[in-house]
């Protein structure tokens, strides 16, 4: 019996998470696995109902589960709350910290049938298979933030700190991951300007010497953002700090056709968390047109990383592949001649194909 904390959150979160639960239920039925799903509030929905974006009961549920499935949180309704009550800062960041989820894995893989869905040229993106490993519990997002009045207005400060310990553990993680892939690590920093990046680069250089079987490269983040769309196939594993990873993975998502395809796993502590890489998409929320595949693929990552169920994970991935190969598309991936599906229909079809329909 696998106990899964289910946190739909806000916006499209409440639409896409049930589709991932459907996929897990289908896998459970096919392979004889039992899941216990317990739903809890998080984000703006939790603030509205209980006065805090990360209620103690939600955190407790996550701590006592085998894995967490999260949708997305946030939206304009909660943007002007005091900073500690805003969904992203009041819920997402503390949840990652509390569960010690220091490594965020974002596989950026192009399904061949989506070759034409991207805005980028076929010959550039064909065969893309990148694993971005983003440090998730340090850096600018977790540093001290403050505002001060000045004679002519205000001054705002965000502090960016990294320790050798934090850098070493994520970079070692990246080397282990690269050994199971094409044995290339590209470390991304801004060492020409930032002191934290200089420590990052020095630490990676030391670790590179311990991993002579893996090719190590260093790249500045501005160059990386350009190389990702110029020649993405040069990358195998990218390892980078929190904010750079946040930004680069949104860019990298376009190599896969849509941000609605980018799954993620956040691991490090006892309980890992699985969520799509995108946000709550308020512009399309409540319309049954969000792409649930990133969330469904995140559920596959849960089976692989938390439960060591490779065959079951692959079964979900193959069902997704089949849906796309047969030409079914949510609006974000739509091309002329393809067959439109809404969120629920996409989830139903994936579940049907998992069950062998
Ligand atoms: P977003 O990722 O929510 O949306 C960006 C664009 O991508 C939008 O046009 C949206 O419609 C589209 N999109 C995203 N997911 C999609 C999907 N599954 N299917 C189809 N289209 C999809 O980013 P944003 O608009 O910058 O942020 C919206 C809110 O989400 C903000 O409050 C932000 O803070 C929050 N956010 C939350 C998370 C999280 O919960 N992990 C991550 C990023 C942003």
| For ligand 1, mutation pick of 18, 96, 259 (most atoms within 8 Å of CB) | 259
Catalytic annotation present for 121: no
Mean of pLDDT values over 214-232 = 98
Could you tell me what percent of the chain has a pLDDT over 90? 97
What is the C-alpha radius of gyration for the chain, rounded to an integer number of angstroms? Answer: 20
Binding site membership of 260 for ligand 1 (Cβ less than 6 Å): yes
Q: Flag whether pLDDT at 331 surpasses 90.
A: yes
Q: Is 246 a catalytic residue?
A: yes
What pLDDT was estimated at residue 118?
87
The mean per-residue pLDDT over the stretch 39-48 comes to 98
Mean pLDDT calculated for residue range 296-321: 97
Q: For residue 267, which of 140, 137, 93, 141 has the smallest C-alpha distance?
A: 137
Q: Which listed residue (141, 162, 220, 274) is catalytic? A: 141
Measured CA to CA, the distance from residue 35 to residue 28 in angstroms comes to 7
Residues 27, 58: contact at Cβ < 8 Å? no
Residue 334 has pLDDT above 90, yes or no: yes
pLDDT band at 111 (very low <50, low <70, confident <90, very high): very high
Closest CA to 95 of 278, 288, 271: 271
Q: What is the rounded distance in angstroms from the CA atom of residue 298 to the CA atom of residue 292?
A: 10
- How many angstroms does the Cα of residue 67 sit away from the middle of ligand 1? 23
Give Cα 126 to chain centroid, integer Å.
Answer: 22
* Ligand 1 contacts CB of residue 332 (under 6 A): yes
CA-to-CA distance for 192 and 31, rounded, in angstroms? Answer: 52
Task: Work out the number of other CB atoms within 10 angstroms of the CB of residue 150.
Answer: 7
Atom of ligand 1 nearest to the CA of 281: 3
Catalytic hit among 145, 222, 270, 339: 222
Q: How much distance in Å is there from the Cα of 291 to the middle of ligand 1?
A: 11
Check whether 357 has a pLDDT greater than 80. no
β-pairing, 272-274 vs 67-72, is parallel
- Test site for ligand 1: of 281, 292, 334, 347, most ligand atoms within 8 A of the Cβ: 281
DSSP string covering 86-129: SHIIIIIHHHHHHTT--EEEEEEE--GGGTTTSSS-HHHHTT-E
Element (H, E) at 304: helix 293-305
Mean per-residue pLDDT over the chain, rounded: 96
Pocket flag, ligand 1, residue 88 (CB < 6 Å): yes
Q: Which residues of 281-306 are buried (b: 16+ CB within 10 A; e: fewer)?
A: beebbeeebbbbbbbbbbbbbbbbbb
Coil/strand/helix, residue 43: coil
Sequence-distant (6+) residues with CB within 8 A of 118 are 110, 125, 254, 255, 256, 257
**Listed residue (193, 205, 192, 195) closest to 161, CA to CA:** 195
**Residue 18 CB coordination number (10 Å):** 18
Domains and CATH numbers, the chain: 1-104+259-357 (3.40.718.10), 118-256 (3.40.718.10)
Residue 48: active-site member? no
Q: How far apart are CA 277 and CA 288, in angstroms?
A: 19
Half-sphere exposure of 198 (CA within 13 A, CB side): 4
Residue 117's pLDDT is what?
Answer: 86
Summarised one tens digit per residue, pLDDT across range 225-269 is: 999 999 999 999 999 999 999 999 999 989 998 999 999 999 999
Give how far Cα 59 sits from Cα of 7, 28, 39, 196, Å.
11, 26, 12, 31
Kindly write down the DSSP assignment for every residue of 251-302, as one continuous string.
HHHGGGT-GGG---EEESSSSEEE--SS---TTTTTTT-S--HHHHHHHHHH
- The residue-averaged pLDDT of 82-96 equals 93
3-class secondary structure, 35: strand
- Any atom of ligand 1 within 6 Å of the Cβ of 136: no
Q: Which residues of 97-136 are buried (b: 16+ CB within 10 A; e: fewer)?
A: eebbbbbbbbbbbbbebbbebbebeeeebeebebbbbbbb
Whether the CB of 279 sits within 6 Å of ligand 1: yes
Please say if 77 is a catalytic residue: no
């Amino acid at each position: 019996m696998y106990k899964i904390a289910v946190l739909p959150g806000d916006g499209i979160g409440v639409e896409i998470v049930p589709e991932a639960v459907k996929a897990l239920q289908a896998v459970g039925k096919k392979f004889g696995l039992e899941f216990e799903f317990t739903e809890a509030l998080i984000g703006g929905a939790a603030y509205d109902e209980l006065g805090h974006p990360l209620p103690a009961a939600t955190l407790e549920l996550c701590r006592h589960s085998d894995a967490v499935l999260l949708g997305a949180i946030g939206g304009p309704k909660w943007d002007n709350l005091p900073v500690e009550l805003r969904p992203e800062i009041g819920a997402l960041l503390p949840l990652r910290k509390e569960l010690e989820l220091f490594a965020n894995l974002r596989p950026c893989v192009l399904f061949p049938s989506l070759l034409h869905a991207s805005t980028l040229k076929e010959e550039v993106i064909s065969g893309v298979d990148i694993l971005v490993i983003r440090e998730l519990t340090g850096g600018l997002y977790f540093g001290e933030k403050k505002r001060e009045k000045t004679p002519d207005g205000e001054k705002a400060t965000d502090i960016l700190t990294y320790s050798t310990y934090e850098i070493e553990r994520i970079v070692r993680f990246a080397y282990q991951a690269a050994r199971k892939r094409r044995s290339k690590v590209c470390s991304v920093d801004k060492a020409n300007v930032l002191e934290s990046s200089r420590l990052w680069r020095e630490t990676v250089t030391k670790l590179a010497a311990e991993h002579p079987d893996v090719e190590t490269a260093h790249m500045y983040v501005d160059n990386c953002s350009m190389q990702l769309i110029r020649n993405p196939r040069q990358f195998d594993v990218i390892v980078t700090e929190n904010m750079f990873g946040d930004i680069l993975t949104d860019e990298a998502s376009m190599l896969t056709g849509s941000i609605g395809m980018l799954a993620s796993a956040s691991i490090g502590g006892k309980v890992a968390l699985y969520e799509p890489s995108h946000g709550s998409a308020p512009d399309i929320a409540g319309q049954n047109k969000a792409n649930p595949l990133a969330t469904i693929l995140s559920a596959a990552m849960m089976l692989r990383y938390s439960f060591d169920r490779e065959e079951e994970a692959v079964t979900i991935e193959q069902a997704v592949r089949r849906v796309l190969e047969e030409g079914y598309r949510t609006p974000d991936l739509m091309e002329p001649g393809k067959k439109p599906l809404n969120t629920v229909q996409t989830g139903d079809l994936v579940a049907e194909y998992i069950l062998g329909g």
